[in-house]
A and B are shown apart, each in its own frame.
Chain A
């Protein structure tokens, strides 16, 4: 039994203090060169696009009626889809991280499938589920509900592609947090729902938040599944990416201006979620 239960960083190892690294980092110089190339590869196209912006027409272009309609639709549907991702994704992540049952690995693989699936394939799959001639579509149509080519279809398409982002980051957070706190809470007399509400979820809140932000960003950029399953009706299913694609044919300046708006929203979203990740004090008392 060692008295110190957590490894402490020795005084002589490099420690991140503020923005400066002090001491030895162990990164060879050529790695920095390749990293710089990688950064340029990501940033250069963005810079090229910014250089192409017609600044004189910028405000009128992004405030034109179709643009505002598309932006509004994008924000509304993405927000709804994110809520749906949380409602469906939190239980999925909990079940994958905590329970153990036959077929669990298979379930995880299928939940993560939309991450690697071409979105247009996802759109086709959704069409054959909720479309008029689809698996559920016929029953839904009898009940007077038509989903394909409606705003609901946009939300479903976005949820389909964005759900894995939430499940992956939340499941990771749950596994990192471990079950020790939950076991203690249970022996203190808390029923499972109380443990979930007051211990499990608060402990993984940073993971849940970043998962939700990533899902939102993915929803905002959704194109292929939406176009296939929901079509491109102005004000109903034509989200901002679809609007940009359409404008590119007729008015390149408008497409570039709207792209910049999407980039700005994306940067804001990523900036919010990737603020310095604060490590959870998993071992309270060992400082």
Chain B
């Protein structure tokens, strides 16, 4: 009982293949416009890909390969979609909203209402049953939307940034709820939030430019990022390049001195990864080896926790506000980023 998908959609430069186990939850991460929502649209049947095929358990959702044109409409797929906005039907009560799926599946009115009550209780929203969607807060409405999706007993639950539209007070409760209901379920969660990926998903996929650029257990992706995007999520600096015997030559031409990970072969494509806290900022070049020193031009300064984050040359450094004031840092200034060799991890990409 697995889910497999392989689909291309030229108009959106989209080409993704993926497989999910029976109770697996996968987090899909990636920058805006990378093709994350396209992925969900194709699985749900709201978008028709140019080619590819998808199988959910026994059911072939679509097969457009080799002259086939099998394409199931959305309502026969068993893939409930939960969007950023709850999209509760405004003309129905909360209970009728949740009963909508079972009713559409052919359940009797009484049976559907009973199912709806069960799922409302499951998301701790039983007391809202008789309200109208307009009378709910954003967090309450999204809980009801989750109940509505679960009430259809979907074989695959699709969540498109379910917490993005919520205020910061409502998000933690919803995240706990999702963790509970996704535990024994197959789901794909699009998220911008590392915390969602860590808490909700077994596996993370990074999508960039319509392609999967990274894939693996969530923790591994964040601990050892191989893409710029995953590194950004993990709060790390990442320089892609070629592994050498004394470190790595970045694609931008920087020579980075550090000890490559065991098993890394010189000449192989690799990445150098280091934390912004490991970067020191100097006004002049420092040459105490084994240190790396790069001349960079500051693009931005921003507060980051109780530190100041200095963005320069595609890298970032965290320094104390006092140090920033002492150095008199302003955007446009040229400074030197200095990193100890031991603080840099180099491994194959």
Q: Residues of A at under 8 Å CB distance from B?
A: 1, 3-5, 180-181, 183-192, 194-195, 198-199, 202-203, 205, 280-287
Contacts and interface: CB of A to CB of B under 8 A. Distances in A.
B237 to A, nearest CB: 23
Interface of B: 44-46, 73-81, 83-91, 100-101, 104-105, 133-134, 136-138, 140-142, 148-149, 152, 158, 161, 164-168, 192
B164 A183 contact: no
Nearest to A199: B89
A283 B133 CA distance: 9
B133 A187 contact: no
Contacts of A4: 165, 167
Contacts of B89: 181, 185, 198-199, 202-203, 284
B90 A198 contact: no
B104 A194 contact: yes
A284 B87 contact: yes
A187 B87 contact: no
Nearest to B79: A187
Interface hub of B73, B75, B158, B167 (most chain A Cβ within 10 A): B75
Nearest to B80: A187
A183 B138 contact: no
Given A189-B75, A190-B104, A285 B152 contact: no
A3 B168 contact: yes
Nearest to B138: A285
Given A5-B165, A187-B44, A187-B46, A285 B133 contact: yes
Contacts of B80: 187-188
B133 A284 contact: yes
A13 to B, nearest CB: 22
A183 B134 contact: no
B90 A3 contact: no
A286 B137 CA distance: 7
Contacts of A1: 161, 164, 192
A3 B192 CA distance: 12
Contacts of A192: 73, 75
A190 B74 CA distance: 9
A190 B85 contact: no
A285 B136 contact: yes
Nearest to B98: A188
A285 B88 contact: yes
B134 A186 contact: no
25 contacts: A5-B85, A5-B165, A183-B44, A183-B46, A183-B74, A184-B83, A185-B89, A186-B45, A186-B46, A186-B74, A187-B46, A188-B104, A189-B75, A189-B78, A189-B152, A191-B104, A198-B89, A202-B89, A281-B133, A282-B90, A284-B86, A284-B88, A284-B90, A284-B141, A285-B141
